[in-house]
Amino acid sequence: MRTILITGAAGFIGFHLCRKLFETNFLIVGLDNLNEYYDVNLKYSRLKKIKELSSLQKAKWEFIDGDICNKNLINKLFNKYRPEIVIHLAGQAGVRYSISNPDKYIESNINGFFNIIDNSKSNSVKNFLYASSSSVYGGNRNYPFSESDNVNHPVSLYAATKKSNELIAHSYSHIYGLSCTGLRFFTVYGPWGRPDMAPIIFTKAILENKPIKIFNYGEMFRDFTYIDDVIEMVTRLIEKPATSNCNFNKESPDPASSWCCNRIYNIGNNNPISIMNFIELLENELNQKAEKLLMPMQKGDVIKTAANTKLISNLVGKTKITSLQEGIKKFVDWYKEYYFL
C-alpha cells in the first residue's frame, strides 16, 4: 500500500488535505505537535472531524502527536512507515510573530524542515512537497509575482526561513536527486481557518463590536485564495514529482526552473483585493458594520500580494477559482456554526 506523510495534519491546510485524500487509496499518516501558537481546541476539533470522516469513508488514517524538531521521533516515523510521498506543511507560521519570537522560526522552519527533508532523502521518497509562502517575494513590486522573480530581499524572518527552505530543497535535489516541489501559498482562507489570520480576526471583532486594526491606513492588498482551490492544486501535484529541465541555461538562470528535479509554484489565484473591500464583503455577509482603526504599516508586512499562476496551470490544468463572495459566505457559515452563533 502506498503511504503519504502529511506534517502539520491538524493545521488549516493539513486538515483539508487529509480530508481530500480520504478519497484515495493511500495510507495517510498525519503528524502534528498540536502547539499553542493559536487555540489548540480548534486543532483538536479538526482532528475529531478527520477521525469521523475517515471512519465514514473507511479511509486508512493514522495520526502521530509529535514534533518535527524531534529528530529521533522523525527517524523512527520514517523507518516505520516508509512514505512514498511527503507533504511537509508543519512549521511556525505568522509574519508578525516572527519579530517577537524569532527562535521559534529557526527551530521549526529550519531545524524541523531539515529533519523531514533529510529523512525523505534517506528513505528514497519519490515526491517531496513542502509549504513555502508568498512572503518570500518580500519588497518586490513587480505584480503579479512570478516564480521567475528574484526573491533575495525578504522583509521578515518568517519569509527568510521559507526562502531558506527553498534553497535547502534545491541543494538536496541537486546532490541526492530528491524530487522537491515548493508551494508558495497566497493568503489561504476558508472554513476551519487559523484564528491569527485576517478573516477570523475581522469577523470576531465585527460581531463583538470591537474596532479592527487596519494597517498601512487601509492601503493593503491580498491575493485571497479559497482553501478548496488550494487543496485541488496540491492534490494534482502528488502524482507530478518535479523533473529536471534539460534546457536549463546556467548562463542566464531562471529561478522558476532548474537542471535538477526541483520546482516552485505559486498557489494563488491572481485576483488581489484591498483589505477594505474584503472587510466590506464581510460586513455584507454578517449584516453588520465594522469599526475601523487605521494604523501605520507594520514591520515585516508587505503592501500587496498577487500570484502569477501560469506555471501551476500549465502543469496541472485549469482548476476552479472560488469567487471571494462565495468563499466568504462559506467561511462565515462555518464560523457561525463552529462558534455557536
Retrieve residue 268's grid coordinates: 494563488
| 277 three-class SS | helix
Q: Which of 205, 217, 211, 198 is nearest to 295 (CA)?
A: 217
Q: In this structure, what are the phi and psi dihedrals at residue 108, rounded to the nearest 5 degrees?
A: -85, -50
Retrieve residue 291's grid coordinates: 469599526
The one catalytic residue in 38, 97, 105, 158 is: 158
Q: At what angle do helices 40-56 and 12-21 cross, to 10 degrees?
A: 0
Q: Which of 1, 15, 2 is nearest to 234 (CA)?
A: 15
Q: Which of 236, 89, 95, 69 is nearest to 156 (CA)?
A: 95
| 321 three-class SS | coil
Task: Name the DSSP letter for residue 307.
Answer: B
Is 156 in contact with 95 (CB distance < 8 Å)? yes
Q: Which of 12, 79, 89 is nearest to 43 (CA)?
A: 12
Cα distances from 40 to residues 45, 109, 268, in angstroms, run: 9, 20, 27
Sheet holding 27-32, edge to edge: 60-65, 27-32, 3-7, 85-88, 127-133, 180-185, 262-267
Residue 217 a catalytic site member: no
Say which amino acid occupies 96: R
Residues in a beta bridge with 62: 29
Residues 6+ apart with CB under 8 A from 298: 96, 215
Give catalytic residue positions.
158
